[in-house]
Structure 1
């Protein structure tokens, strides 16, 4: 009896394996590395993956896309360079540094990174509680500030901001928490400020504003102009009043555009079809997050400094963006 049961179990498992293999054979799997759940990369990446899965068929195979949480730009660029995933969201300045092998990527070879297209501007937001006594970047001296993981894009930006304001990393108590973790610490009174670069409104900041009165510190003036000489990808922008609960006035800050990137080994047909799916269905993304409204074909090549993937380039030529 045991022998018969073992045979039946074995046959059942073989049937499942055969079915799974056949199912996989009819699909092309496509990953999108995003960021933490407290930012903008993750919800938009999830909607993009769903949209691609619903619309893209290559030959007789359906594209099955998934969005994966990640450690954002620097980690995503590194993951792409070794072919660890098919695509990822990366800030324009980080993607440029990765391709050139400078700053966080010095001595590394990431020349196989390719661009699919530009997404939306990510605002640089320094968030504090209203009673913190911090009203300008200069005021953060001597306070505790979260900048994300050492070597990350956030960490590099905080360093650049401090240099522009005549400070160094010893000028403050640096914390290395994620967006969500830093907001929890501010909420509990264990952190004074967090530097968050993300599409607005940002989920983690919205959550904080539901518990405490907050302020977004403006980034403007001569020090910012100096920063923009070093990092030309950072453009002036305005965070509109009422982006967050209790934020009743516009805030002047800076922003960098997010780029959807891939690697040179992705096949041309897949690259072409996912780019087409994105820019011909931006209205769908707009329903998920307000930043989806800022993704358009007209700005698809803005801030793109690394080579385009040939599949993406083919689509842009068809649309007249490239002659």
Structure 2
């Protein structure tokens, strides 16, 4: 963000939550970052809140409310994982500091869940997550991925339009033979407002008209699709990106229209 503010970078890949904070002047940002706009969602961080099955009577994220005092890994200290987990918990009315928190990476969290030193973890990432596969291969029905109802998705978002519904297909993880409805936030391409409409239009057009090529050279682009280009974007579109999306028939909601 500092590089963007100093005009040392004109484009940047940002986690959606940091983009939402920047646009609102919240979180680590004392002032609204008005010089930023969205170009495209790139890939999604899919939330995997996983707890011991005996602690998940409903199987939904609401079960966290009854886990006060339990050991929960919220991700590495000061990581995007920690901050997104805290934001979601706050939205659903759960104070994360009522847990006995552990600050572990994904592999460490999976190992700790297996050996019983924690009761739950969150590992937001692209599906499938290696650490989640590891945990289910070892523990099977002893753990659950918590799902989200439509109302819980609204609660998790609070004042943002950030997390969207994401269905983890059945059999993605060992022994999980049903679809799990969770939420995902975007990692997105941001741009400074002073980049010309034509330049951003041409970049957006080049990305989507050459998507098959991009998907052949980098796995991070494998889930990109024009139909998902604006899902969960945390700030209005740059005029150049909006122009391209309107040309290809994407309906842009009011909160993402260029400003």
Structure number with higher relative contact order (C-alpha < 8 Å, ≥ 6 residues apart): 2
CA distance in 2, matches of 1:297, 1:174: 39
Work out which of the residue numbers 235, 245, 256 in structure 2 matches 1:306: 235
Counterpart residue number, 1:96: 20
Tell me by how many angstroms 1:126 deviates: 0.8
Aligned in 2, Cα 1:312/1:212: closer, same or farther, shift over 3 Å?
same
Aligned in 2, Cα 1:243/1:80: closer, same or farther, shift over 3 Å?
farther
Tell me by how many angstroms 1:206 deviates: 2.7
Deviations 1:147-167 (CA, angstroms, capped at 9, x unpaired): 235565543443344445543
Counterpart residue number, 1:117: 40
Match of 1:194, SS state, is strand
Aligned in 2, Cα 1:143/1:281: closer, same or farther, shift over 3 Å?
farther
1:179 pairs with 2:97: no
Alpha-carbon contact 1:147-1:154 (below 8 Å) kept: yes
CA distance in 1, matches of 2:139, 2:173: 11
- After superposing on structure 2, the runs of 4+ consecutive aligned residues of structure 1 that deviate more than 6 Å are 267-270
Aligned in 2, Cα 1:164/1:271: closer, same or farther, shift over 3 Å?
closer
CA distance in 2, matches of 1:169, 1:128: 14
CA distance in 1, matches of 2:205, 2:223: 17
Alpha-carbon contact 2:164-2:232 (below 8 Å) kept: no
Larger Rg: 1
Match of 1:197, SS state, is coil
Aligned in 2, Cα 1:277/1:145: closer, same or farther, shift over 3 Å?
farther
Q: Which runs of 5+ in 1 are unaligned?
A: 1-76
Work out which of the residue numbers 257, 282, 305 in structure 1 matches 2:186: 257
Q: CA RMSD, aligned part only?
A: 3.6
Deviations 1:6-52 (CA, angstroms, capped at 9, x unpaired): xxxxxxxxxxxxxxxxxxxxxxxxxxxxxxxxxxxxxxxxxxxxxxx
CA distance in 1, matches of 2:210, 2:37: 22
Structure 1 length-normalised TM:
0.59
Aligned in 2, Cα 1:254/1:274: closer, same or farther, shift over 3 Å?
same
Q: How does 1:61-210 map to 2 (within 5 A)?
A: 77=1, 80-83=4-7, 85=9, 87-102=11-26, 104-108=27-31, 110-128=33-51, 133-135=54-56, 136-149=63-76, 152-210=79-137
Tell me by how many angstroms 1:101 deviates: 0.9
Tell me by how many angstroms 1:172 deviates: 0.3
CA distance in 2, matches of 1:134, 1:122: 25
Tell me by how many angstroms 1:223 deviates: 4.9
Aligned in 2, Cα 1:245/1:286: closer, same or farther, shift over 3 Å?
farther
Aligned in 2, Cα 1:201/1:84: closer, same or farther, shift over 3 Å?
farther
1:244 pairs with 2:165: no
Aligned residues: 243
Please say which of residues 84-93 and 170-179 is displaced more in the overlay. Answer: 84-93
